[in-house]
A and B are shown apart, each in its own frame.
Chain A
Amino acid sequence: MTAAQGKAADGKTIQTVVRTAMRRCGTGRDALLAVLIHVQRHMGHLPDEAIAAVATAMRLTHGEVAGVVSFYAFFHQEPFGLYDCRLADNIIERHAGNAAVQERLGTLLKGGLGTLSTTSCIGLSDQAPGALIDGAPIPSLKDDRLEQVVHLMEKEIPVARWPGSLSRVKPNVRRADRILQQQAWQGEALRQAMTQGAAAFLEELELSGLRGMGGAGFPTARKWHSVREAAVTERVVVCNADEGEPGTFKDRVLLQRHAAALFEGMTICGWCVGARHGFVYLRGEYRYLLPILQRKLAARRRAGLLGQGILGVQGFDFDIQIRLGAGAYVCGEESALLESLEGKRGVPRPRPPYPVEAGFQALPTVVNNVETLSAACLVAVHGGAWYAAVGTAASRGTKLFSVSGDCSRPGVYELPMGTPLQELLQLAGAHRTQAVQMGGASGALVAPHDFGEPIAFEALPPGGSVMIFDQSRSISGIVHNFACFFAHESCGFCTPCRVGTRLQRDLVHKFTLGHGDAADLSELKELGLLMGRASHCGLGQSAGRAVGDALQYFPEHFPIASPDAFVQLETALEQARALRQAGGHTP
Chain B
Amino acid sequence: MRFVIDGMTIEAQAGDTILTACRRAGYYIPHLCFHGDLPAQGNCRLCLVESKGRLLPSCLTKVTDGMEVASATEQLHTLRLRLTQMLFVEGNHICPSCEASGNCMLQALGYRLGLLDNHYPQFFPRRPLDASHPQMILDFNRCIQCQLCVRASDQLDQKHAFVVAGRGGEAHITASSSNGQLGSTSFAATDHAAGICPVGVFLGKGVGYVTPIGERRYDRADIAQAGDRNA
CB contact under 8 A between A500 and B163, given known A350-B60, A534-B55: no
Given that A502-B123, A503-B121 are known contacts, is A494 also in contact with B45, CB under 8 Å in the complex? yes
A70 and B180 alpha carbons, distance in the complex (Å):
13
Of the candidate stretches A59-67, A216-224, A464-472, A576-584, the one touching chain B is A59-67
Among the stretches B86-94, B194-202, B205-213, B215-223, the one at the interface with A is B86-94
B163, A492: Cβ atoms closer than 8 Å: no
User: With the chains together, A345 CA to B176 CA distance in Å?
Assistant: 15
A244-279: CB near B (< 8 Å → 1, else 0) gives 000000000000000000000000000000000000
A495 touches B164 (CB 8 A): no
- The answer to whether A534 touches B89 (Cβ under 8 A) is no
Tell yes or no: B110 within 8 A of A by CB. no
CB under 8 Å from chain A, chain B span 35-92: 41-46, 48, 55, 57, 60, 79, 82-83, 86-87, 89-90
Beta-carbon contacts under 8 Å, A489-546 to B: 489-496, 498-503, 506, 526, 530, 533-536
CB proximity of B45 to chain A, nearest CB, Å: 5
User: What chain B residues lie within 8 Å of A38 (beta carbons)?
Assistant: none
**A63-B175, A503-B120, A506-B121 known; A498+B162 contact, CB < 8 A:** no
Mask of A52-85 contacts with B, CB within 8 angstroms, 1/0: 1001000001111011001111000000000000
Judged by a CB distance under 8 angstroms, whether A488 is at the interface is yes
> With A64-B176, A492-B145, A495-B44 as given contacts, are A533 and B121 in contact (CB-CB < 8 Å)?
no
B114 / chain A contacts, CB cutoff of 8 Å: none
- Number of A residues whose C-beta is below 8 Å from B? 40
> Quick one: CB contact mask for B153-174 with A, threshold 8 Å, 1 for yes?
0000000101111111111001
Q: Is the CB of A534 within 8 A of B48?
A: yes
Q: A63-B160, A503-B121 are in contact. Are A536 and B167 (CB under 8 A)?
A: no
B160 touches A536 (CB 8 A): no
* Bound: A73/B46 CA distance, A: 30
Closest to A346 in B: B167
Question: Roughly how many angstroms separate A66 CA and B177 CA in the complex, as a whole number?
Answer: 10
Residue contact A66 to B163, C-beta cutoff 8 Å? yes
User: Is the Cβ of B163 less than 8 Å from the Cβ of A495?
Assistant: no
B178 in contact (CB, < 8 A)? yes
A64-B160, A534-B79 known; A499+B166 contact, CB < 8 A: no
* B175 vs chain A, min Cβ distance (A): 7
Shortest B47–chain A CB gap in Å is: 11
| Docked complex Cα distance between A536 and B48 (Å) | 10
Knowing A61-B160, A502-B169, A534-B48, the reply to whether A495 touches B87 (Cβ < 8 A) is yes
Closest to A328 in B: B167
Residues in A neighbouring B87, C-beta threshold 8 A: 495, 499
Please provide the chain B residues from 118 to 166 with a CB less than 8 Å away from any CB of chain A in the complex. 120-121, 123, 145, 160, 162-166
Contacting residues, chain A, for B167 (C-beta < 8 A): 70-73, 328, 345, 490-492
Contact A492:B168 (CB < 8 A) given known A498-B145, A499-B89? yes
B41, B45, B176, B177: the one within 8 Å of A495 (CB): B45
Contact present for B41 and A350 (CB under 8 Å): yes
CB atoms of B176 and A61 under 8 A apart: yes
Task: Give chain A residues whose Cβ lies under 8 Å from the Cβ of B48.
Answer: 534
Q: How far is the CB of A526 from chain B (nearest CB, A)?
A: 8
Minimum distance in angstroms from A89 CB to a CB of chain B: 16
- In the complex, the chain B residue whose C-beta lies closest to that of A62 is B178
> What CA separation (Å) do A540 and B136 show in the bound complex?
35
A:560-578 near B, CB below 8 Å = none
Q: How far is the CB of B104 from chain A (nearest CB, A)?
A: 17
A52-B166 contact in complex given A495-B43, A495-B44, A495-B87, C-beta closer than 8 Å: no
On whether A536 and B45 interact (CB within 8 A), knowing A488-B168, A492-B166, A498-B145, the answer reads yes
- Residue A550 at the chain B interface, CB threshold 8 Å: no
Q: Given A66-B180, A494-B43, A495-B86, 9 more contacts at CB 8 Å? A: A64-B160, A66-B163, A73-B167, A345-B164, A490-B167, A492-B164, A495-B43, A499-B120, A526-B82
What are 26 residue pairs bridging A and B, where the CB atoms are less than 8 Å apart in the complex? A48-B178, A52-B178, A55-B178, A62-B178, A63-B165, A64-B160, A64-B176, A70-B166, A70-B170, A71-B167, A72-B167, A492-B169, A493-B171, A494-B45, A495-B145, A496-B45, A496-B83, A499-B89, A499-B90, A502-B123, A530-B79, A534-B48, A534-B55, A534-B79, A536-B43, A536-B45
